Amino acid sequence: MSGNSQPDQQNGAAGSGRDLGLDRHHSARIYDYFLGGKTHYPPDREVAEKLLAAFPGFRTAARTNRAFMHRAAGFLAERGIRQYLDIGTGIPTSPNLHEVVQATAPESRVVYADNDPIVLAHARGLLTSTPEGRTAYVDADVTDPESILDAPQLRDTLDLSQPVALSLVGLFHYMTDDQDPYGIVGRLVDALAPGSYLVFTHCTPDFAPEEWEQAIEIYRADGGNAQVRSRAEIERFFAGLELVEPGVEVPHRWHPDKATTDMVSIGELDDASVSLWAGVAVKP
């Protein structure tokens, strides 16, 4: 487990004849569009604009979701967590999770997992580690959690007998109940040692039900898979875990930094425009 300046990758390098899916939209590239990134294509932008017409808060939600990830990662790094598994990482956008935690603890080890070949194509160039730490990338789908947990890249990077922070940020609203989302989270958490953490966010219709109903209809009509959930439904993902205060909360009220507090105070952030529930919990 020596230091590594570039991430390992499962299933070969990008550009090896894989279908990049540029003729159809992908959630990671739509999210990149909402964040103001550049790694998206006409099908992604077309669906993204339809979604923005239904729910104009998507850009605000994406930025707030990303800011929460940064704060949660920093929170855990300050509390001694040195191993991280980020599933559904999306298009690399600096600062990435490993950059946040390695700023506090350079020896931190981070494994990223995603199923988008475009994310894979960008991973080697962007996901770089400190010499003391390590990053790795697993090309796999969260619907098959064992393909992530058993990946050689993960096993060579993380010690699952020691605490790991599992980051599932903005991912499970792309999974419907018939895909067993609660069971999948349970299988992932069961593989982790006591003292591990779950970092989780999920879109909700609680604050703007009509807009979200329309947005979900649009996404599904274009071939996407999505299901937003209520706070009570989202709390179920933390079953058997101990929530860190303030519990399940809108992300801009979870340990807000000054920039977030200022945005709330001047009205740039509100619960309806964010429409996410977030939480961090520890495995006893």
**Tell me: the pLDDT tens digits for 146-173?**
999 999 999 999 999 999 999 999 999 9
The residue-averaged pLDDT of 107-117 equals 93
Judge whether 126 lies within some domain: yes
- How far is residue 60 from each of residues 34, 52, 214, 251, measured CA to CA in Å? 8, 11, 18, 11
Return the closest-CA partner of residue 65 out of 204, 195, 233, 205.
204
Q: At what angle do helices 58-78 and 258-265 cross, to 10 degrees?
A: 150
Could you tell me the residue range of the domain that residue 101 belongs to?
Answer: 29-283
Q: CATH number of the domain at 186, please.
A: 3.40.50.150
**Tell me: the pLDDT tens digits for 115-127?**
888 888 887 655 7
Judge whether 116 lies within some domain: yes
Judge whether 20 lies within some domain: no
Query: What pLDDT is recorded for position 5?
Result: 37
The residue-averaged pLDDT of 186-205 equals 99
Q: Which residue has the higher pLDDT, 25 or 202?
A: 202
Q: Which residue has the higher pLDDT, 123 or 134?
A: 134
Q: In percent, how much of the chain has pLDDT > 70?
A: 90
Which residues are CB-neighbours of 65 under 8 A, at least 6 positions away? 169, 170, 201, 251, 276, 278
Query: What pLDDT is recorded for position 16?
Result: 45
pLDDT for 10 beyond 50:
no
Judge whether 63 lies within some domain: yes
Q: Give the 3-state secondary structure of 196-255.
A: CEEEEEEECCCCCHHHHHHHHHHHHHCCCCCCCCCHHHHHHHHCCCEECCCCCECHHHCC
- How far is residue 45 from each of residues 6, 20, 54, 65, 97, measured CA to CA in Å? 30, 16, 14, 20, 25
Task: Read off the tokens for 174.
Answer: 């792309």
Q: Which residue has the higher pLDDT, 120 or 133?
A: 133
Tell me the backbone φ, ψ of residue 85, rounded to 5 degrees: -125, 110
Edge-to-edge strands, sheet with 83-87: 8-9, 134-139, 109-114, 83-87, 165-169, 197-203, 276-282, 242-243
Judge whether 9 lies within some domain: no
> How many folded domains does the chain comprise?
1
User: How many angstroms separate the CA atoms of 216 and 67, rounded?
Assistant: 24
User: How many angstroms separate the CA atoms of 195 and 131, rounded?
Assistant: 26
Query: What pLDDT is recorded for position 19?
Result: 62
User: How many angstroms separate the CA atoms of 249 and 265, rounded?
Assistant: 17
Confidence of residue 17 (pLDDT cuts 50, 70, 90): low
pLDDT for 104 beyond 70:
yes
Q: Which residues are registered as beta bridge partners of 178?
A: none
Judge whether 23 lies within some domain: no
Q: In percent, how much of the chain has pLDDT > 90?
A: 75
Task: Report the largest interatomic distance among the alpha carbons of the chain, rounded to a whole angstrom.
Answer: 52
From the CB of residue 23, how many other CB atoms can be counted at a distance below 10 Å? Answer: 9
Query: What pLDDT is recorded for position 232?
Result: 99
- How far is residue 264 from each of residues 52, 66, 141, measured CA to CA in Å? 21, 16, 35
Query: What pLDDT is recorded for position 51?
Result: 96
Judge whether 135 lies within some domain: yes
pLDDT for 22 beyond 80:
no
Task: Read off the tokens for 40.
Answer: 């998206």
Q: What is the mean pLDDT of the chain?
A: 90
User: How many angstroms separate the CA atoms of 211 and 129, rounded?
Assistant: 41
